[in-house]
């Protein structure tokens, strides 16, 4: 396409939620935007130009990636921007591990490209549909006490500010802005390019085991301290949880003994990841919505039993397909309070008076120093609750949020919550640094919307 840098490896993205009638919906379907226009820039200069047009028209601007946020963070009635045509790899330095990418590239497209040149991202979340800019901007993370969020691996970025200026940030220029802008909520400008510090490609030895939930809780701190990446999923109304333990290795996956063995291995993986986690799980949720009294029994079927062990590429283990749509809330609390907070969430579930058909997820992550990172300044446990799309959730999520408030919990910026600037500002040690950067880069609130006004306050 004209205007692309020479030699650029392009991977076009799909599934951004933009519809033929000019409206936009997020992946979960609970957020809708009706912008006056939708911009699809192909170059950084076009991004700058569209911002200048918005200034001249008195319009605000928001950017959408893959639409995997559950909040209204991308919603606007003014100008909506998709970076799907700004979605390529600009440069890869195999020796240093530095990889420059355009902001709209999806993680699911980037991961195999990295693997092909012997590199990998240090850590990933459990889905990979997001754009790189969307993932870092909302503080998306994986699990592992010795590891950090995706944004922690950002060593450079470029963004277009509120007057259309282009600013580069790295260790040599505007390092103070880089420190803040790695998790920017889209409030500091439009990120056009990101430089990631990658690591040599690695595999994961995965062990997934259904165990009694009390056994998992009693032993999780020890497991998290001795396993690279650990997490668990508790099925409400059952006494069981799926414990996942992933250990990093350069050991190669075992070769298939023959073609039949290879086909059997692929079938088993497909059965577990596609049929059981998506098709069957989705069918059971539809049944549970029609007959809520069946949910506890159905959850028992979902929890199942048994143990799976396999070894494959890191990104294939970290992220799984998610085809059953849902609404989600996730909170970050200090790691020392994680298990106590989780047990209180169990009490909330038991006291609702109606069954919950989705698991409660528990992950742990090392702290960082990014001002608006949900793990800023502390090792962190993340507790996520979900409901099937179209299911009432407010009483459940408010009950969980009340628990998290007792531990200065920080909500994932892209997942549902009921907080505001008045309740959030004191929970982040770097809040004022972010506020100062916002006033510097977007003093007129060009990149704000109702959600950001609520959680960050006015731009000035």
Same-domain check for residues 65 and 192: yes
pLDDT of 263 above 70 = no
Q: Own/partner pairs for 272-280, CB < 8 Å, 24+ apart?
A: 272/308, 273/320, 273/321, 274/321, 274/323, 276/304, 277/320, 277/321, 278/321, 278/322, 278/323, 278/324, 279/323
Same-domain check for residues 173 and 298: no
Check which CATH number belongs to the domain holding 102 and give it.
Answer: 3.30.465.10
Percentage of the chain exceeding pLDDT 70: 91
Task: Give the chain's domain count.
Answer: 2
What confidence score (pLDDT) does residue 272 get? Answer: 54
Same-domain check for residues 196 and 209: no
What confidence score (pLDDT) does residue 300 get? Answer: 81
What confidence score (pLDDT) does residue 6 get? Answer: 31
pLDDT tens for each residue of 146-165:
999 999 999 999 999 999 99
List the domain range (segments joined by +) for residue 446.
9-200+434-456
Residue 224 lies in a domain: yes
pLDDT tens for each residue of 322-337:
778 899 999 999 999 9
pLDDT of 265 above 90 = no
pLDDT of 362 above 70 = yes
What confidence score (pLDDT) does residue 274 get? Answer: 44
Residue 420 lies in a domain: no
Confidence of residue 306 (pLDDT cuts 50, 70, 90): confident
What confidence score (pLDDT) does residue 140 get? Answer: 96
Confidence of residue 296 (pLDDT cuts 50, 70, 90): confident
Residue 422 lies in a domain: no
Confidence of residue 16 (pLDDT cuts 50, 70, 90): confident
Same-domain check for residues 165 and 242: no
Same-domain check for residues 173 and 231: no
Give me Rg for the CA atoms of the chain: 22
Confidence of residue 1 (pLDDT cuts 50, 70, 90): very low
pLDDT of 198 above 50 = yes
Whether the model clears a pTM of 0.85, i.e. scores above it, the answer is yes
Q: Can you tell me the mean pLDDT for 311-320?
A: 94
Check which CATH number belongs to the domain holding 259 and give it.
Answer: 3.40.462.10
Same-domain check for residues 85 and 127: yes
Same-domain check for residues 84 and 214: no
Q: Can you tell me the mean pLDDT for 275-292?
A: 69
Confidence of residue 275 (pLDDT cuts 50, 70, 90): very low
Residue 261 lies in a domain: yes
Q: Can you tell me the mean pLDDT for 6-17?
A: 47
Same-domain check for residues 171 and 92: yes
Residue 65 lies in a domain: yes
Residue 419 lies in a domain: no
The DSSP call for residue 31 is: -
- Paired tokens of 189: 């400008």
Same-domain check for residues 406 and 441: no
The pair phi, psi for residue 414, each rounded to 5°, is: -105, 10
Is residue 74 within 8 A of residue 67, CB to CB? The reply is yes
pLDDT of 13 above 50 = no
Same-domain check for residues 243 and 322: yes
Same-domain check for residues 196 and 211: no
Helices (H), 80-172: 107-116, 132-137
What confidence score (pLDDT) does residue 304 get? Answer: 80
The burial class, CB within 10 Å (0-12 / 13-18 / 19+), for 307 is: exposed
Confidence of residue 257 (pLDDT cuts 50, 70, 90): low
pLDDT tens for each residue of 93-146:
999 999 999 999 999 999 999 999 999 999 999 999 999 999 999 999 999 999
Q: Can you tell me the mean pLDDT for 332-348?
A: 98
Q: Can you tell me the mean pLDDT for 390-399?
A: 96
Residue 427 lies in a domain: no
Same-domain check for residues 309 and 440: no
Q: Can you tell me the mean pLDDT for 281-310?
A: 78
C-alpha distances (whole Å) from 382 to each of 188, 252, 326, 329 are 26, 31, 18, 10
Confidence of residue 262 (pLDDT cuts 50, 70, 90): very low
What confidence score (pLDDT) does residue 273 get? Answer: 52
Residue 424 lies in a domain: no
Which of the residue ranges 55-59, 67-71, 221-225, 286-290 would you say has the lowest mean pLDDT?
286-290
Q: Which of 305, 78, 48 is nearest to 159 (CA)?
A: 48
Q: Which of 390, 365, 369 is nearest to 379 (CA)?
A: 365
């Amino acid at each position: 396409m004209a205007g692309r840098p020479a030699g650029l490896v392009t991977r076009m993205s799909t599934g951004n939620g933009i519809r033929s009638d000019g409206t936009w919906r997020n992946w979960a379907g609970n957020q809708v935007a009706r912008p006056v226009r939708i911009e699809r820039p192909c170059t950084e200069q076009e991004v700058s130009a569209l911002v200048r047009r918005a200034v001249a028209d008195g319009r605000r601007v928001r950017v959408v990636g893959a639409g995997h946020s559950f909040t209204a963070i991308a919603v606007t009635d003014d100008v909506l921007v998709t970076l799907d045509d700004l979605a390529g790899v600009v440069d890869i330095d195999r020796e240093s591990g530095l990889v420059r990418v355009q902001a709209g590239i999806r993680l699911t497209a980037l991961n195999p490209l990295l693997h092909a040149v012997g590199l990998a991202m240090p850590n990933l979340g459990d889905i990979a549909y997001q754009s790189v800019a969307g993932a870092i901007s909302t503080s998306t993370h994986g699990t592992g006490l010795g590891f950090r969020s995706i944004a922690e691996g950002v060593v450079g970025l470029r963004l277009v500010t509120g007057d259309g200026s282009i600013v580069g940030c790295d260790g040599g220029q505007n390092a103070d802005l880089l420190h803040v802008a790695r998790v920017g909520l889209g409030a500091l400008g439009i990120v056009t390019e990101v430089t990631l510090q990658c690591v040599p490609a690695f595999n994961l030895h995965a062990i997934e085991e259904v165990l009694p939930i009390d056994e998992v809780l009693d032993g999780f701190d020890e497991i998290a301290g001795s396993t690279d990446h650990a997490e668990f999923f508790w099925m409400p109304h059952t006494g069981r949880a799926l414990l996942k333990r992933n250990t990093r290795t350069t050991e190669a996956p075992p070769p298939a003994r023959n073609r039949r063995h290879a086909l059997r291995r692929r079938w088993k993986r497909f059965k577990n990841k596609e049929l059981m986690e998506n098709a069957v799980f989705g069918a059971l949720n539809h049944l549970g919505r029609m007959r809520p009294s069946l949910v506890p029994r159905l959850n028992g079927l979902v929890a199942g039993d048994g143990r799976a062990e396999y070894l494959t590429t890191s990104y294939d283990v970290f992220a799984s397909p998610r085809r059953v749509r849902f609404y989600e809330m996730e909170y970050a609390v200090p790691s020392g309070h994680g298990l106590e907070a989780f047990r209180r969430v169990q009490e909330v579930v038991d006291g609702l008076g109606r069954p919950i058909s989705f698991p409660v997820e528990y992950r742990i992550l090392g702290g960082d120093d990014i001002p608006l990172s949900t793990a800023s300044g502390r090792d962190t446990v993340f507790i996520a609750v979900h409901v099937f799309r179209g299911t009432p959730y407010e009483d459940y999520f408010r009950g969980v949020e009340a628990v998290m408030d007792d531990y200065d919990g920080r909500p994932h910026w892209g997942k549902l919550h009921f907080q505001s600037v008045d309740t959030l500002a004191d929970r982040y040690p770097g809040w004022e640094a972010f506020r100062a950067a916002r006033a510097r880069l977007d003093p007129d609130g060009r990149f704000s919307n109702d959600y950001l006004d609520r959680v960050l306050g006015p731009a000035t």
